[in-house]
Structure 1
Amino acid sequence: MAKADKKEIRRREIVAAAQAVAARDGAEGATLRAIAAEAGMAANAVLYYFGSHADIIAAAVQASSGRFLEKLAEAVDQSMTPTARLAAVISAGTTAGLDDDVSRILYEYWPHMLRDPEQRRIQDELTRAQEGVYREIIDAGTRSGEFAPLLDPAKIARTLVAQEDGLVMDVLAGSAGSEYVLDLMGSLAAALLGLEAETLLDLIAARGVPAAAT
């Protein structure tokens, strides 16, 4: 059992090294040699813990995806009204990972899903989970009478996630600021759900904007 524990600890260290290199040097820079050097290991030693470089990258992206979803969960208190929960998720979904490397890592590897089935599986699972978070809130708000959706709730959830994904990429690229993105996301959600935009935007603004990682 102790041996297994040590192996798992080492695997986590390698994953953390892969995340650090990808965030600093990009997906192309996260080679097996670079990850091994970051972890303070020889490349062949790294492969004792993971079968291949692709396995390491998949584990790093999966870990980043998991942390992103944790941040969404941490932002929401089930005692909140649906409108307040919507504001919390918009705020978290748009800024989660900007105060560390989570979002940057996910976006570094997003194009890889075009050719890599494992990366596609991870990204698809993340998207479905994000949609599920929005869908639950939309359904609750509809039941309570706070929301009057203009489209099928599943379509609204998918639209919000897609918009969020594109806008966060703009923030990471430096072509948009978080405040602008939050305003746009809040305005879109309010329009689709029959909410007063000012009410939702005030709740979003009250949560503040975390500083982006440098």
Structure 2
Amino acid sequence: MAKMDKKEIRRRDIIAAAQAVAARDGAEGATLRAIAAEAGMAANAVLYYFGSHSEIVAAAVSASSDRFLEKLAEALEPDMSATARLAAVISAGTTAGLDDDVSRILYEYWPHMLRDAQQRGIQEELTRSQERVYRDIIDAGTHSGEFSPLLDPAKIARTLVAQEDGLVMDVLAGSASSESVLDLMGSLAAALLGINAETLCGLIGARAGK
């Protein structure tokens, strides 16, 4: 593995600082000055490594998005059945990032996509990637005979991602528990894919309890 140069190491430190400030103080609190202070640098020094505050924010959100997708991938194993894979992704997608603030950072910046094209692009790519994960599982389960989709698989994948995104917001806000959200996601997926809800929810619960 190639060794990172000092500039790249410093850039990563600044990204980590931006993530830490956003998780602690929110997107509005993650100013250039606050990020620089977190990184132990002067604000003008930070701009040597990034061209602007918005570039730092984009890098921090992209890094958080990448980490979220890594957590989904880490939940899957090659020998899993489609149903087990579905349970793993639902569990990971609903709880991934809650332990290290990845989800909180993504949600802090989500409203920015309404007026920031760069942020919109990052969030849209994350959504497409999440949908691809679900779509691959649905296709595999349909092929194996485990699933009997009630809708077009692409629509089911989009529905599950949208529902997951909204429910994780409830967990972050403290208005819902992870357990209730996981049960709802499992019940919805089971209904849409024609599988036994008790079986799927049991697999999800077992993973969440690990």
User: TM-score, structure 2 length as denominator?
Assistant: 0.98
The whole-number CA distance in structure 1 between the counterparts of 2:8 and 2:173 is 34
Q: CA deviation at 1:4?
A: 7.0
Tell me what 1:25 maps to: 25
Task: Kindly state the Cα deviation for residue 208 of structure 1 after the two structures are TM-superposed.
Answer: 1.9
- 1:41 maps to 41
**d(CA) in 2 for partners of 1:134, 1:73:** 12
In structure 2, what is the Cα distance between the partners aligned to 1:203 and 1:3? 41
Query: Which residue does 2:60 correspond to in 1?
Result: 60
Change (3 A) 1:187 1:70: same
After superposition, the Cα gap between the structure-2 partners of 1:18 and 1:209, relative to the gap in structure 1 and judged at 3 Å, is: farther
CA distance in 1: counterparts of 2:60 and 2:208, whole angstroms:
29
Alignment of 1:103-114 (within 5 A): 103-114=103-114
Name 1:183's counterpart in structure 2: 183
Deviations 1:124-167 (A, max 9, x none): 00000000000000000000000000000000000000000000
2:80 is matched with 80
Cα distance in structure 1, aligned partners of 2:93 and 2:43: 36
AA matched with 1:49: Y
- Describe the SS at the equivalent of 1:97: coil
Q: Which residue type is aligned with residue 42 of structure 1?
A: A
CA RMSD of superposed structures (Å): 1.3
Deviation at 1:209, TM superposition (A): 4.8
Mind listing any 5+ residue stretches in structure 1 that lack a counterpart?
none
1:174 aligned residue? 174
Aligned equivalents of 1:57 and 1:78: distance in 2?
A: 35
**Counterpart AA for 2:80:** M
TM-score (norm 1): 0.96
Counterparts of 1:43 and 1:148 in 2: how far apart (Å)? 56
> Percent of counterpart pairs with the same letter?
84
